[in-house]
Chain A
Amino acid sequence: MPSVPSADGLPRFSRIICLNWTLTTMKSFLLRFGVGLVAATFGASAAFAQQDQLYKTNDEVVRGLVSGTTPGSVTMTVNGAAQAPIPSSEIKRLIFAEEPGELRRGRESVLTQQYEDSVAELAKIPAGNYPSLVQQDIEFYKAYSASQLALKGSPGSNANDAAAALVAFTRANPNSWHYFDARKAAGDLAALTGNYDYAASAYGELLQAPSLSMKVEGKLLQSEALMRLGKHEEALAGYKQVAAANANGDDAIEKYKEFAKVGQAVATAHTGQPAEAIKSLNEIIATTDPTRDQALYAKIYNGLGAAHLKANAPKEALLAYLHVDLLFLQDPDAHAEALYNLSKLWGSLNQSQRALDARQTLRERYGASAWASKE
């Protein structure tokens, strides 16, 4: 399952708007509001320090108190007045007044994708009776960091533990503004370990996200999972939807559409038209700059490999997968897929040593991937 990168290359923490207001968040608000009143008795700078700070993607900063969250938004109360909910897609970071320094540093590490650092920093957070929103953030960033390390195949990471932590988080915090990010990460982990049913279901939840970009991403990833499940017709329909989406200048959606076109071609191969798929993929190759997006190119060549296999052309399939192994190996899942197929193809072409080499690389580099355990 390729993890489709976000347009800015950073993980997303901002997407959804949902307006249900639960008892839990009300309690939290009252507690927080009480803290805010006490803080208001101090001087201006102290009051600043005692306020939550929400940094928007346009660099605007909103200082006040977080008075409510939904899976798609955060509501801030500024000077006692509740503001309009801020869509999570517009939030860069949210810092709580009472949060420990380790959480702040851990969060920053997550934002810069330094997950080893974030894990180490978050682990240092002393036990304490933090407000529930802060506690939520701690749990989320811990689970999210662990998930990203597992997805990278970092030594010591464990995909199952990370998935369990994410699931526990979303169950306990259905109104967290991190909800959809947690579901997507859970889907990614499920895909990594070959649990495509679960992945399809988790990605399917992203279709409830208010952000169009996340909806499109969800559909694309769900289609990928359906492909892995062998539900090619359903996947094809999903890809078509994504390919037809109106990007409205959104770079991320444009990218998803490109992936979807590739997916569409591969699904076509699986539904009995490999020649047509090969033609489409070759056209995509002819119109896509190979230096622009390695992951996309990896997907194209893996798709080409699959289509050639369907067309019973093992040598051509081998060359396609070798493109990924030799040139476009940055995307772990795509590389693992290529290595898996290469190990099979080399074997069928009586190159047992190369087959063993490919399998060995697969096991060593991507041991946690479903490709490594696939027979």
Chain B
Amino acid sequence: MRRLFSDRIAGAFRSVTALHEEPPRATGEKTASPTNGLAESMIDRKRIARFRIFAALLVAASGSAAVRAEDPATTFLEALRGRGYYDTALDYLKSAETSEVVPAFFKAQIPYERGLTMVELAAVEANRDLKIKLLKEAEAHLDEFLTKNSASPLVPSARKETANILIAQARLLVRDAKGTDQAKLAEADKLYAQAYQSFQAIREDLKKRLEAIPKVLNDNDRAQRLLRETRDQYRQTYQAVRLLSAVMLVEQAEITKENKAEYEKRMNQAIAELGQIYTDYRIFYAGFQAKVFQADAYLKMGRYADAIAAAKEVLEQEDPGLRSIKIQALAVAAPAWNHESIKQYDETVNQVGAMLDTARPAEEREPDFLRMKLSLAKALKARAEASANPTSSDAKKDLRRAKAMSFQVSNVQGDLQKEARELLVALGGPDAAAEEIEPTTFVEAQQAGRDAFDVAQSSEATLKTIQTRLKEAGGNDAELQQQVEALTQTVAKARGDAVRYFRDALRLAGPDEDPASLGRVRYFLTVLYYGNDDLHAAGVMGEFVARRTSEDPTAPYCGRVALAAYKKLFDEADESLKDFYLARTESVATFVGEAFKGQPEAAAAIATLIPMQLQAGKIEEALALLQQIPLDSPLRAQMDLLVGQIAWAEYLRGGAKVRELETAQAPAEEIAALQMKRDALKQTALTTLEGGVGRMQTAKYGKTEALAVIFLAQILVGSDRAQDAVALLEDPEKGVLPKLAGGNADIEPKIAAEAYKVALRSYVSSIVSGANANDAIEKAKQTMDALDGAVAEKKTLISIYISVAQDLQKQLENAPPNQREALSKAFAAFLEQVRGEAQQLDVLVWVAETFYGIAQSAVGPDGVATPAAKGYYEQAQGAYAQILSMGKNKGGDWLPKDVERTVEMKLAMIDRELGDYQGAIARFERVLAPNNSVLNVQTEAAETLMKWGQQDPQQYFSAIMGARKDPKTQRNVIWGWTRLSSVARQNAKPENDMMETFFLARLRMAEALRGYALASKDAAQKKKHLELAEKSIVEIAKAMPTMGGADWRRKFDDVLKAVQKDLGKPTDGLSKVLPPPAPETASR
């Protein structure tokens, strides 16, 4: 019972401290319903905030008529604290000291506000040392305020906060003393005494202040209105201080229990003070609160009759708004009724029984309810034992119920658990076979059913515990095995009995039976049917309750059970019945979702429908359903994640589809429509994943959670929110990286690799958005190490790094032009650092590829490398060269041959971009020498010759006819466009893209001829080559009128027109050769 009292006191302090005070009421001055505590507290906060402004104005303005508009500092500060932003509130107070807009009156009260903020922060601080530190700092600030502002109307409130700090410090000492450290207890006692004295002094001060304010005030007069506000505030503080000091006395008395006289003196004093508060505020909530504290104090002292009398004053109230305080009163009264000096067991049984009957499911395990249940069990046991005929059915019923009650309490962790278990043992353990009765009335049957149900539930809980122990013991403990068997029988029998009794109850129900009682019986039957796997019956009964008695409080839950039953039947049904149960599931889910909107059951029903819609590919419908699940429902997060992940997966799949359509040259509008759909999917994925990740429970972190975080990070980093992505990935609670570091076994290696990929990309990208570059680089390096550890195969690792590089390049290309340069620089700086230290091939390839990508994205719109692009090409060149050099030095298979050739090719391409055509061609030759039938290398080599042709027209011929004769074969190592087109044409198949190479080669041939012609000084030569160019295009048009699609046709047409212009002919392009192209649909 020690807990009971101290909890209450702590609660009182908390509520009073947190809300500052009770509403501004004195006896006879009723301004609102005394029972509506929540609403009052909300009003309080606003009133107090307003009061602070008024109070300060009283001091600062001192009658000044003009109120200057200024920063709404007090309200803002209240709002910051209200949201729990204590750190920001403290920052604000710091900035307010020097602010030009913060009013002078507010500046004067900054120390007070700082102290108050720290007191509130200390209340939520779990770390003991920090809590002490905060309290000390708060005290110093409040002292500062009191010293400098002795005339402020906030002085009483500041002093009250100071006293509260003393109590908080005393409480910490009591906790540390653990009941034995007398020195600490004595110190705590002193602090309590100081707090009490402070409270008394505040009371005296407030009295004087109140007396100084006229009784009658005119609200139409501004000054008098301000005074009324001040008076209200003083009255609130006065009331709060009285309650606090009285309750604190009880707490203080607890530590002097060894000294009976002192203990009784303090308790009596507390009782007297609480009694007086009740007298003064008897029609208000605070008055009843005082009365319950008083009853508890009596109980503590062993004055049971007085405790009962005090509690009764509260219990006799009929106002339904007082339910919560009546529960507290009952939890105090029941042990008093049970005491051997009182022995009013019937009171406990009747009153507690009645209260338990009205208990909401969420209340069943609350401390006050558990206390009441334990008291009820004790009363029932005592009553049965005191019965004249202990073997009578009534006595047996009492014992059975006592067992059920104590069993329930024994299954809940807490300070009552031990006592409940001892009681259960005294009662002979959970019932194995309750005696069967034959109920003759509805009430009897209902009670019997309820008792059997309780037994079933309690036994089931114990069964689970014992099964776990048995499993831990390897299944070899005979005693535990026996207990499991016995309890299994008990559960089965109790469940069967409960069903039978509840069915009897329905049979025995008269036409005027209380609908609420009938609803409860049906509810239990629904739950029992489901538990017994009688799914059809559970579905039918649950649906009946939900639809036919939807006003009944159990209706939503029954609907949920019905839904679960039908869903299970659907999952288990053969094909012939699937449709039937699917229809039932959808029908019940829709009904529950709509009929019980806003309740958890509605959310659960909708959550059942969402996967069904997703399975059918209906993401929009699933999204619409998602909006119907309240944000605070735990299911919302799960469903957010599910919808978000499916939407993101669809978005990615859509990307492949877009590429497919582009390759197939599908109509632009079709591609645009798909793109729009993808944009919507991305938005859906972002919104739902952000919501879901924000709300997700992280106690069980597995694949779903990890994927959700990875997907969201992918979206964020792709949307220039790299820092958000980093914050998310690293979040100690939700981030996937800490989970991987902690060795989460539920995250598969493939998912881990994806996590590291997105992390790497995020770290690199975060540099540009202002993250500390060194930190980001360090973390990126750690990520690469982790990636190396997670992926064993080198080629896979390289392809992962290349894909990250490609992602980064895509990001660069999509970045707004004004950000691109900064982004490039950040990437480059990062890459240089990595390159300097990297020893792994995969990392170096990644570095080089990324440099190359950055360079390409810095190329000007005319295709000419800008100075910046050249710089990046040179850096890429350095990285590729480093790979070759390290390959030589390390030897072995460090640098596989195919990778080496790719590196060479890249180097050749870079030479070309840097204008070193000779060097480039020499490299291409080296690459092609061992095997010259690699079409992409041949294409790049020919392109290089084309570029060279701009400087040396002779190279145009090489581009067409090939170059670098092999002395052995006497054939050109570099083929040129003619041979390329021929090889491509011969090898073209529907499944490859050789025709693309073919058309490219033919187009380039025409361009090369034109380039050569234009460079020629001989008019005849010029004309001849221009005509050749013209002919080459006309020939291909005639031979292949489709021209490889609209794109190619346009390109050929452009070149042909240019040639015709050069020749002085009409520039009619392909129009004379081919019929006009089909009209194109405008793209979006």
Contact = CB atoms under 8 A, between A and B. Distances in A.
A318 B88 contact: yes
A356 B690 contact: yes
B727 A289 contact: no
Contacts of B76: 322-323, 326-327
Interface string B683-700: 100110011011000000
B632 to A, nearest CB: 12
B272 interface: no
Interface residues of A, number: 33
B627 interface: yes
Contacts of A326: 76, 79-80, 83
B69 A289 contact: yes
A286 B627 contact: no
B631 A364 contact: yes
Contacts of B75: 327
B72 A348 contact: no
Contacts of B92: 319
A11 interface: no
B727 A350 contact: yes
A285 interface: yes
B130 to A, nearest CB: 18
Contacts of A363: 686-687, 690-691
Nearest to A374: B719
A155 B691 contact: no
B125 interface: no
B63 interface: no
B691 A375 contact: no
A73 B965 CA distance: 85
A20 interface: no
A316 interface: yes
Nearest to B70: A286
Contacts of A282: 100-101
B686 to A, nearest CB: 8
B1065 interface: no
Contacts of B631: 364
B70 A315 contact: no
B728 interface: yes
A116 interface: no
A373 B76 CA distance: 28
A285 B690 contact: no
Contacts of A315: 91, 95
B408 to A, nearest CB: 37
Contact of A352 (B70, B686, B731): B731
Nearest to A363: B687
A286 B79 contact: no
Contacts of B686: 363
B691 A352 contact: no
B723 interface: yes
Contacts of A352: 724, 727-728, 731
Contacts of B728: 352, 356
A318 to B, nearest CB: 7
A327 to B, nearest CB: 6
Interface in B987-1044: none
A347 B724 contact: yes
A357 B538 CA distance: 41
B721 A285 contact: no
B69 A322 contact: no
Contact of B69 (A285, A318, A319, A355): A285
Contacts of B72: 290, 323, 327
Nearest to B91: A315
B101 A348 contact: no
B695 to A, nearest CB: 8
A114 interface: no
Main secondary structure of the interface of B (DSSP, over half): helix
Interface string A281-297: 01001111110000000
A316 B94 CA distance: 11
A353 B731 CA distance: 9
Interface string B712-729: 000000011101100110
Nearest to B718: A375
Is the interface on chain B under 10, 10 to 19, 20 to 34, or 35 or more residues? 35 or more
A367 interface: yes
A177 B596 CA distance: 47
A316 B95 contact: yes
Interface in B61-110: 68-72, 75-76, 79-80, 83, 85, 88, 91-92, 95, 100-101
Contacts of A348: 723, 770
A319 B95 contact: yes
Contacts of A367: 687
A295 to B, nearest CB: 15
Contacts of A354: 85
A360 interface: yes
A142 interface: no
B721 A286 contact: no
A287 B69 contact: yes
Contacts of B770: 348
A290 B72 CA distance: 7
A278 to B, nearest CB: 9
Given A316-B95, A347-B724, A360-B691, A285 B83 contact: no
Contact of A285 (B88, B95, B101): B101
Contacts of A287: 68-69
A162 to B, nearest CB: 18
A294 B731 CA distance: 36
Contacts of A322: 76, 80, 85, 88
Contact of B720 (A285, A323, A373, A375): A375
A15 interface: no
A352 B709 CA distance: 14
Contact of B79 (A327, A356, A373): A327
B627 A288 contact: no
A285 B80 contact: no
B69 A290 contact: yes
Contacts of B95: 315-316, 319
A350 B771 CA distance: 11
A344 to B, nearest CB: 8
A285 B693 contact: no
Contact of B690 (A327, A347, A359, A375): A359
Nearest to B687: A363
A47 B80 CA distance: 64
Interface string B45-71: 000000000000000000000001111
Interface in A245-282: 282
A348 B69 CA distance: 32
A356 B692 CA distance: 11
Interface in A329-364: 343, 347-348, 350, 352-357, 359-360, 363-364
Contacts of B71: 285, 290
Contact of B88 (A290, A319, A327): A319
Nearest to A313: B95
A355 B734 CA distance: 14
A353 B85 CA distance: 12
Nearest to B71: A285
Given A155-B627, A282-B100, A282-B101, A364 B683 contact: no
Contacts of A289: 69
A348 B771 CA distance: 8
A73 to B, nearest CB: 39
Nearest to A356: B694
A348 B726 CA distance: 11
Nearest to B67: A289
Interface string B566-610: 000000000000000000000000000000000000000000000
A373 B75 CA distance: 31
B351 to A, nearest CB: 45
B70 A285 contact: yes
Given A285-B101, A353-B731, 5 more contacts: A155-B627, A287-B69, A288-B69, A289-B69, A323-B72
6 contacts: A290-B69, A290-B71, A322-B88, A348-B770, A354-B85, A373-B683
> What are the 7 tightest A-B residue pairs by CB atom distance, in nearest-first order?
A352-B727, A326-B79, A375-B719, A289-B69, A356-B694, A285-B101, A363-B687
